[in-house]
């Protein structure tokens, strides 16, 4: 046998052995999403009827790429990690220029009794919200997303995910505040549970975030789920928070460095000042590829501002394959008082949406494409 042939066979054997070891011991997955849409919005801004036509990013899902991996340690123990970075396909820019892995960056240990994770992580509210909404808590049409204001992810987070018992799982989170002499200052506490029982999915989550001196707190509650009736699902969602709806910022809370800062955002300290969001929606599958959905959401502001709002929407999804989807959305949002709620999406880039004038309504249309890899 020629030397070159021997070398080739040896390299092939080594490669096959290494591949088998890697498959048995560890795994590394590159994954991602590309989501681009054409959008139209109209509303009165500064007393003038205004229209916006845009090629936007991240309508149904936020565009991202990530690396997810595990290593088998034996005895039912595994090392796990996830690194995830968001970007805008229209420009190729990072979504957050001040941090590379802006979405997730954590490492953990999985054991027979559950999993511990350490680092920047998604909140249960963000992770589960799409299960409570026919619009996946995204697109112009999701009033649940446009009105509610859950914190999406938290820095310096320590979490515990229980094993699934009777299709039920519990999550507990504590985010280290990093304040000298206190464990409560600037800390974020979370707890949640989700369960699937036959055709019924239910979930509930709670978040409590303190300012640096532990004198003001943001409190949030989410609950909801869906019922699979065979040709589609009926969804319901509820969200309640004690941030006051500002006349100039809609439902925006200050969120520097991945944590709420209640001393900066419009957080109420008056007992009973809450806002509550309600969402009802449903979808129907004509075929494995084509589905339609519709929904109605409204928000009630119990503060003296009385900034209520409501939204009607419809969506069409057509799957070209398991990875590629076309979607279309039409919606109308009505603001009361001085509210300025707007149609956003999964993670809409600044400049690609309109903020209505105080108390003004808004109409929206989206046609997009989403590809998973």
Task: Express each pLDDT in 44-53 by its tens digit.
Answer: 999 999 999 9
d(CA 291, CA 282): 10
Query: Residue 272 — pLDDT band, cuts 50, 70, 90?
Result: low
Whether the pLDDT of residue 78 is over 80: the answer is: yes
pLDDT of residue 250: 36
What's the mean pLDDT when you consider all of the chain?
Answer: 86
Whether the pLDDT of residue 4 is over 50: the answer is: no
Whether the pLDDT of residue 213 is over 90: the answer is: no
Task: Express each pLDDT in 144-195 by its tens digit.
Answer: 999 987 888 898 999 999 999 999 999 999 998 887 888 888 889 999 999 9
pLDDT of residue 271: 61
pLDDT of residue 2: 54
pLDDT of residue 264: 44
Phi, psi of 87 (to 5 degrees): -150, 165
Please, what are the domains in the chain? 28-372 (2.40.160.10)
pLDDT of residue 247: 34
């Amino acid at each position: 046998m020629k030397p070159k042939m021997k070398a080739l066979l040896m390299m092939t054997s080594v490669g096959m052995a290494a591949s088998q070891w890697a498959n048995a011991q560890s795994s590394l997955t590159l994954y991602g999403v590309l989501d681009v849409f054409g959008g139209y919005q109209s509303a009165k801004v500064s007393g003038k009827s205004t229209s916006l036509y845009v090629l936007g990013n991240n309508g149904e899902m936020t565009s991202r790429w990530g690396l997810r991996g595990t290593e088998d340690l034996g005895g039912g123990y595994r090392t796990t990690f996830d690194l995830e970075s968001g970007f805008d396909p229209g420009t190729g820019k990072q979504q957050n220029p001040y941090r590379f892995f802006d979405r997730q960056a954590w490492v953990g240990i999985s054991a027979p009794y559950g999993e511990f994770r350490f680092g920047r992580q998604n909140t249960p509210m963000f992770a589960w919200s799409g299960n409570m909404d026919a619009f996946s808590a995204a697109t112009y049409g999701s009033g649940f997303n446009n009105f509610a204001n859950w914190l999406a992810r938290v820095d310096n987070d320590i979490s515990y995910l229980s094993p699934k018992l009777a299709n039920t799982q519990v999550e507990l989170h504590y985010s280290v505040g990093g304040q000298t002499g206190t464990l409560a200052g600037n800390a974020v506490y979370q707890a949640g549970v989700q369960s699937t029982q036959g055709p019924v999915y239910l979930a509930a989550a709670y978040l409590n975030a303190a300012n640096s001196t532990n004198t003001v707190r943001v409190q949030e509650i989410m609950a909801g789920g869906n019922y699979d009736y065979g040709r589609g699902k009926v969804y319901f969602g509820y969200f309640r928070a004690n941030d006051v709806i500002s006349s100039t910022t809609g439902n925006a809370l200050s969120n520097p460095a991945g944590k709420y800062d209640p001393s900066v955002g419009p957080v109420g300290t008056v007992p009973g000042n809450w806002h509550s969001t309600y969402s009802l929606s449903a979808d129907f599958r004509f075929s494995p590829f084509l589905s339609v959905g519709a929904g109605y959401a409204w928000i009630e502001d119990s503060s003296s501002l009385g900034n209520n709002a409501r939204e009607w929407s419809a969506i069409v999804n057509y799957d070209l394959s398991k990875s590629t989807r076309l979607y279309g959305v039409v919606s109308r949002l009505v603001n009361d008082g001085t509210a300025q709620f707007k149609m956003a999406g999964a993670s809409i880039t600044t400049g690609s949406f309109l903020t209505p004038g105080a108390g003004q309504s808004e109409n929206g249309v989206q046609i997009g494409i989403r590809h998973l890899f």
